[in-house]
Structure 1
Amino acid sequence: MDHREPSDLHPPPSHGLDPLIAYWQGLRRGHLVPARADLDPSILGPWLHMAGLVDIGAAGRMRFRVGGQGLSALLGVEARGMPLRSLFALGTRARLHDLALRVFTGPSMLSMTLIAPAQATPAKPVQVPLVMLPLRDQHGAITRAILCMEGRAAMAAERPARFHIRQARLTTLSAMTAEGPLLRLIPSGRG
């Protein structure tokens, strides 16, 4: 169960959520974090089923503002208003809180591999990629995050699902990579 904290010069391991991460990165446009208002639901369509918008409130409490039908199915109840921790096993919740808090305070991108029992028994536990990407609210504060699980893997989990964290990776965001390309060609002066 690793927990690394590189800069965003090194992207997290690739998985089916990579296009969502690329879309979110493109919305940054010179900011550390994109605005919630910049998200286009029509572009997010392929992920909405397994996505939720998480708010952070007083004392660092994190709740789902909204959540897709797949996320609600995993929780066993409507996701809206449910604490983020309700998706996780009891012994995992303190670690989850520490990691998710860094999404808002770093700000950081969180990429995790979760594990849960499979619906069909006896079967190997299901491994589910999850990302949590910070967003600015209408006042410019980082109080929101989009959370998304890889749908096919998540729907194989037993329901209601309570996930354990197998791996977690925090990627600290920097203004340098929000502004444009990391490399630039500089003429050498040679003919």
Structure 2
Amino acid sequence: MRNFFGNGFGSNSGKIVAMDRFDNGRSLSPIRQAEAYWTALLTSDGIPKRSQVDPRGLENILEYTFILERITPRLARFRVAGSHLNKLAGMEVRGMPLTAFFEPSARSQISDVLEQVFAKPAIAGFDLVSAGKLGRTRVQARMILLPLKSDLGDVSRVLGVLVSDGAISATPRRFTIQDTQLRAVSDVQAPKRPKRQLSTGFAEAPQEFKRPGSHLRLVVSRDD
């Protein structure tokens, strides 16, 4: 597990990594749009509330978007899920646990990361793969989990996006985890602005001020 974002999720420095596409060139813009939307909701109070998430702000990526509700520290279920997730699962996923999208060998790992998303809290990014077998093609996927507060103020909701690349078969897809990127929410809070320094590029060197006094002389006019 890496404690920084790569492969299109950004980095601790706030810069975006150039690699933002699947192997065949498909864009990962739904991931970026979701993270940008969530980041725009951040305030000085920290994590956004679930009630602040407006579907109209995510209308271009709704099919990939979902909302999770925390059930236990290591388990969360889908409250809302877009059509892309239903197609991957081969059924309606609302009410199902997030772990249902993963092979048994990967479920403990996803639960470990989910616990940190709620507890730290943190943002999690995943590189996923569903192996090709029984005539099915290999499918790549990327997922991001962005923590949210409930109306009670506890971190018990998640705004997420899951986008895959490859043919979706009629049978359910289950994924393994190739890589995980975890970043504390505190790392993406707006940094304090440094004190502004005045540029001296066009400034003239300050001159010493000399009080007039002994250098003055009285001029008397003798005009009649």
Q: TM-score, normalised by structure 1?
A: 0.84
Shift of 1:164: 0.6
Tell me the C-alpha RMSD between the 2 structures.
2.5
CA–CA separation in structure 1 for the residues paired with 2:193 and 2:139: 39
Residue 111 to residue 12, structure 1, CA distance change in 2 (3 Å): farther
The answer as to whether partners of 1:85 and 1:93 remain within 8 angstroms in 2 is: yes
Q: Which has the larger radius of gyration?
A: 2
Once the two structures are overlaid, the 10-residue window that deviates more, 46-55 or 161-170, is: 46-55
Residue 9 of structure 1: CA displacement? Answer: 3.5
Matches within 5 A, 1:31-180: 31-58=45-72, 60-117=74-131, 121=135, 123=137, 125-150=138-163, 153=165, 156-158=167-169, 159-174=171-186, 177-178=188-189, 180=190
Distance 2:193 2:168 in 1: 42
Query: What's 1:5 paired with?
Result: 3
1, 17, 24: which one aligns with 2:38: 24
Match of 2:197 in 1: 187
Equivalent-residue separation in structure 2 for 1:11 and 1:87 (angstroms): 30
Q: Which segment is superposed worse, 37-46 or 112-121?
A: 112-121
- Name the SS of the counterpart of 1:80 in structure 2: coil
Query: 2:101–2:174: 8 Å Cα contact kept in structure 1?
Result: yes
Alpha-carbon shift at residue 185 of structure 1 (Å): 5.8
Cα deviation, residue 67, structure 1: 1.1
Q: 1:48 to 1:82 in 2, by over 3 A?
A: same
How far does the alpha carbon of each residue in 1:113-134 deviate from its partner, in whole angstroms, 9 at most, with x for none?
Answer: 10013599474x2221110110
The higher relative CO (CA closer than 8 Å, separation ≥ 6) is in 1
Shift of 1:188: 4.0
Structure 1 residue identity aligned to 2:36: A
Q: CA 1:144–1:12 in 2, change beyond 3 Å: closer, same or farther?
A: farther
What's the offset of the Cα at 1:31? 3.3
Higher helix fraction: Structure 1 or Structure 2? 1
**Count of residues in correspondence between the two structures:** 184
TM-score calculated relative to the size of structure 2 = 0.73
Q: Structure 1, unaligned stretches of length 5 or more? A: none
Q: Any gaps of 5 or more consecutive residues in structure 2?
A: 5-10, 21-27, 204-224
Q: Percent identity?
A: 26
Amino acid of the residue matched to residue 162 of structure 2?
M
